[in-house]
Chains A and B, each alone.
Chain A
């Protein structure tokens, strides 16, 4: 498989990406030739009906799932050229993740959950905890650092997850429906934190969502259907956020 030319200014560049699940005769084609670019520093939203392949695409981008066809360069790196361990280390250092269900370890406090991301990279425990506290402060949770997830509201938990996703200053943020477990108002707050965190670090954010009420935070919106990107529109975020 050939490597995509690295294009300056592009955090993600995918061409003709295919992904199949299962074996014949039950084989399912989840991605049917995805072309997608993400510009460095932008907030790109990925929307589309359920089952159209959004999560699958995120996983392929992040090197969690192997693509079956096509080319894909993420932060100048083609995951096909990396071993499984190298891909894991690439994710640990360069990508931040936010999941729909937060996925915080219940026995860890907020600051410990955030610090875990740094521990994966070999940062010493003391420094990791200290940097985690700063990341929590940057999402407005300084006073909740020592609470466990069960003592936090859904929105607070998701902001802890955002702190965990940005604590290692990744260049790419990958978020799967970060607001769908939250009510509208809380989702709005979480999106503000997310967008601000990405902006401060000049990180690219790719956010899968069903929730058209958060479109206002997008620089661009890519519409997906049946395993393909069907259309990309400019969002309204930049105009609205810059007075």
Chain B
């Protein structure tokens, strides 16, 4: 096979470093300039001006410096990318690699040095992204020349999936031990809670999107329903968290069925649009139905979770033992600290997330779970096999919504205050991004994607206002290298001989 392709014109070129055709520099320069011109046309109104509030008047400031800088970066980046594609990948790799290392060294010598560069850390990230692309092109071409069907990314993903057998428990042990580690301060535990909340939401949405293949852009609606149900039930009936939780989950599941009915016959884009609308409707209703939801002011003083009836407060009312008093009396002496409640919340969300995961792993092996996956693959074949698509879709919506509702209840009890503000479309988008980036249907992928997407912006905090830009850049990079998601490698649910893995 390899010999047969040598005679085609592309093969020798690929073998000698991918110099597909001699690039005309004039053409590349023109191309880069044209890109810059388009960027300029876009940036002129968007970046070039900004409005500033000066007391009673609004004035317009110009930012042409920043604008030209950005345009220059885009044109240069385009030029670098076309050089890479024209067969100079190695040269660009060397150049950008040296530049980025030099940049790091400079900053290491003088920590304030990053400020010299016009975009701070961003300039480094840009150079690194060029280097990564160059590396990818030179490596990617090589594996093609060898005739490998499976890309290196796929092999890594398959390995990670297989290692998940060991990696999963390690991650779990870390998650259990994390709040007890010496480095775990309030910030760490809070970040852990945040990441775990999104892991749970990701796992819940994974049932709908990953397994059943129903693109749901309004998942935040169920998160909101869960949060408001919990807040209202707990406040009105004086129930505690564990009593109100199943009711909130059940209500969210009912909303899942409610959404499911009208969209039964929709697929793909149309389904996405209707679910998006559903998410907005729920938010707008919450915003306007003052009697129920207290409108934009939101609901406050939501009961905080208590540890078997013991609250986490420094000075509990007469006759009530608070957690730290009980702990001091029975185990060892501790004072009150707000971190105790944070740690408790952390374990609650860990437990809820694990429940979601175990449930999903189990149900994948049951007929209903298999029907979900089959429905994602081929609805007509499903019908021919006696699957009832209506029930199958509705259960997927209901169960996904139920987990969203649980997560919402947790959110409400953790915050103590909720308002429609917290349930914007952007939340749906983030949760969906977690599922898609994780590789639809991959459980461990959701964990990794949550850590990257939720933890990432926190780690990029030093970048200050460029934080979201860096975050967006990271997403673009993932989309370039793993458009199918980080771990899009489906584990079979049934193997006859335990050792006989997929070939």
Partners in one complex: no
Q: List the interface of chain A (C-beta within 8 A of B).
A: none
